[in-house]
Amino acid sequence: MADGTFRNDIYDLIAKIPRGSVVTYGDLAALAGHPNASRIVGGIAHYGDINLPWHRLVNRFGGLASGFPGGRDVQMQLLLQDGTSCNNYIVDNFKDIRWKPIL
């Protein structure tokens, strides 16, 4: 908890993702300072806090991830509840709702 900088940043960023928006693993990794550590984001998500909105995490295509607890079906439902349009396990208007940190 808050001892690892990278993981801490990921947690913080995930928690800051506004409702109705999504973000990619690569983006989170880049925001944490390691643009090529996208895998680590997934790893943290897997071992991290389930309370965080990991369902807003999608791959670079805007498609839902694979190991989400409950399956992509659950993740898609969560996205829909967030007001994120998605179909066939793919986020709709992905590029348009893709979250970007406010500088």
Partner DNA sequence: TGAGTGACTGTAA
Partner DNA sequence: CTTACAGCCACTC
**Which residues of this chain interact with DNA, rule CB under 7 A?**
4, 6-7, 24-26, 34, 36-48, 50, 54, 57, 59-61, 65-69
Residue 4 vs 20, nearer CB to DNA = 4
Instruction: Please name which of 65, 47, 46, 49 lies closest in space to residue 57, comparing C-alpha atoms.
Output: 65
Determine phi and psi for 56, rounding to 5 degrees: -85, 0
Comparing CA positions, the residue from 31, 54, 15, 9 lying closest to residue 103 is: 31
Q: Pull the structure tokens for residue 8.
A: 């801490």
Q: Least distance in Å: CB of 63 to DNA? A: 8
Q: SS3 for 35?
A: coil
Residue 40 or 90 having the CB closest to DNA: 40
Q: For DNA, which is the closer residue by CB, 18 or 69?
A: 69
Is the Cβ of residue 50 or residue 103 nearer to DNA in the bound state? 50
Q: Find the angle CA(84)-CA(101)-CA(83) to the nearest 5 degrees.
A: 10
State the nearest-atom distance from the C-beta of 55 to DNA, in Å.
7
Shortest Å, Cβ 77 to DNA: 14
